[in-house]
Amino acid sequence: MSHNKKQCVLVCQNRSCKEAGSAEVWAAFESAETKDYKVIAADCQGQCSCGPTVRILPEETWYYRVQPSDVPVIVEQHLKGGKQVEEKLNPRIHMRFSF
């Protein structure tokens, strides 16, 4: 019953992320061509102070402070191109795994 095998874009829609504009981020992913990735409105992902939080599965890529203008870049580069968008990686999570 895990989501982990599926390709998903989780866009946090909990309070802190909503206040930072995550509804617009979700809408931008929804209207984009996201290949095989399913766009999901998610509960709090525990990264509230650096939202809007976008978490991509199964690769466990965490993007932070995502704005609608970042969405086309994430779609083109990551979802279609398979390459992480370095400047939007959540440093709290990715610094541990970087090298």
**Residues near ligand FES, by CB under 6 A:** 12, 14-17, 44-48, 51, 53
Considering beta carbons, is residue 13 or 34 the nearer one to ligand FES?
13
Residue entry with tokens 């999570």: 93
H or E stretch including 57? strand 54-57
Residue 52 CB, shortest distance to ligand FES, in Å, is: 7
Residue 39 CB, shortest distance to ligand FES, in Å, is: 15
Q: Which residues contact 19 (CB under 8 A, 6 or more apart)?
A: none
Residue 16 CB, shortest distance to ligand FES, in Å, is: 4
